[in-house]
Amino acid sequence: MAEAEIVGWAHSKFGKSEAPSTLELMAEVVGPALDHAGIEARDVDGIFVGVYNNGFSRQDFQGALVAMGSGGFDHTPAVRLENACATGSAALYAALDFIAAGRGRIALVVGAEKMTALPTKETGEILLSASFREEEADVEGGFAGLFGRIAGGYFQRYGDRSEELAMIASKNHRNGLSNPFAHMQKDLSTDFCNTVSEKNPYVAAPLRRTDCSLVSDGAAALVVADAETAAQMKRAVAFRARSQANDILALSRRDPTAFEGARRAWSGALGMAGLSLDDLDLVETHDCFTIAELIEYEAMGLARAGEGYKVVREGITAKGGRLPVNPSGGLKSKGHPIGATGVSMHVMAAMQLCGEAGDMQVPDARLAGVFNMGGAAVANYCSILERTK
């Protein structure tokens, strides 16, 4: 079974968009993605849409909206997928399976979300639908409250790592200065991120505002093609490996600080690729909250449990470090429009491998890891990407 390869992409500016809905947001990236791949709408055999929604809009049936906003797709098969914050990766992996099964040669993947139109409290309630409501619906602070609990449990077990979380936030904001698509392009010092203040209050202690990703609007798109077709394209980025692993939804039924599903996804992808972390040139990882990035260092194998702080302290994941993590600025700076996030992360990695990342570019990038998770490390996707053309 041959994997499909990425042959084109497009990315909108993340932030508070004037676009009224996901229909318009998706239309912003579909045409440019086709142009980047050098194809037309009639060449696309299937459309795979990632939109979380769950109440952000009364309009659903999101898979049908691509044809509404972009011409030439009236009769192209389209489907929408949802898998919490990993919705975009779910859409991408479905497209890859579609190509691998021989059902088509070219597929279009679009991820989008319109989040900023609703009041903050309502947005928080919608996001809690990615938790186990029976036990977690009343957590103060919404999803930030869930990760606040995770951070609190981690600190209780391994010691207070608030300063290291501030260092992660500062790193990602510094990286985001070079990303023209980022929601917040602002350099925040470690001291600012580590100080509770009027401008940086607790959102869900011990997490401060600077520890939390942004509520954003945005869209991203990928064009994927079978290997034979990709060989004729201007560029091609292959999946050296990809892996998905789940963990149980309810936090009460697992160790919330272990991210076991993430560990399994990373182990599966690296094993399939025949690689170690030392072979990778960069990683785009899911820093919905800074505590998530810290624990992900441990899940991917950069540090032993409880020692992720050493990775930050030693500068391993800085832009010029041994393994740059989130050179795009991550969700922390770039923003987190739920359905777009997984697609965006793969776009950012593909840009790096093709030398098209501009000021974000990691020199001589050949292999990239992408880790996107849904919920509190419930749905975990890990891709290892390499350029083939």
pLDDT at 308: 98
User: Which CATH code of 3.50.50.60, 1.10.10.10, 3.90.1150.150, 3.40.47.10 fits the domain covering 5-118+216-230?
Assistant: 3.40.47.10
Retrieve residue 102's tokens.
């021989």
Catalytic residue among 85, 193, 212, 382: 85
Secondary structure of the chain in HEC code, one letter for each residue:
CCCCEEEEEEECCCECCCCCCHHHHHHHHHHHHHHHHCCCHHHCCEEEEECCCCCCCCCCCHHHHHHHHCCCCCCCCEEEECECECHHHHHHHHHHHHHHCCCCCEEEEEEEECCCCCCHHHHHHHHHHHCCHHHHCCCCCHHHHHHHHHHHHHHHHHCCCHHHHHHHHHHHHHHHCCCCCCCCCCCCCHHHHHCCCCCCCEEECCEEHHHECCCCEEEEEEEEECHHHHCCCCCCEEEEEEEEEECCCCHHHCCCCCCHHHHHHHHHHHHHHCCCHHHCCEEECCCCEHHHHHHHHHHHCCCCCCCHHHHHHCCCCCCCCCCCECCCCHHHHHCCCHHHHHHHHHHHHHHHHCCCCHHHCCCCCCEEEEEEEECCCCEEEEEEEEECC
Residue 140: per-residue pLDDT: 85
Six-digit token string for 87? 């919705």
Given 11, 36, 286, 336, which residue is catalytic? 336
Q: Residue 1: what pLDDT?
A: 52
- Which pTM does this prediction carry? 0.98
Q: What is the pLDDT of residue 269?
A: 98
Q: Please state the domain extents for the chain.
A: 5-118+216-230
Active site residue 336: yes
In the predicted model, residues of the chain with pLDDT beneath 50 are: none
pLDDT tens sequence across 215-270:
999 999 999 999 999 999 999 999 999 999 999 999 999 999 999 999 999 999 99
Q: What is the pLDDT of residue 76?
A: 98
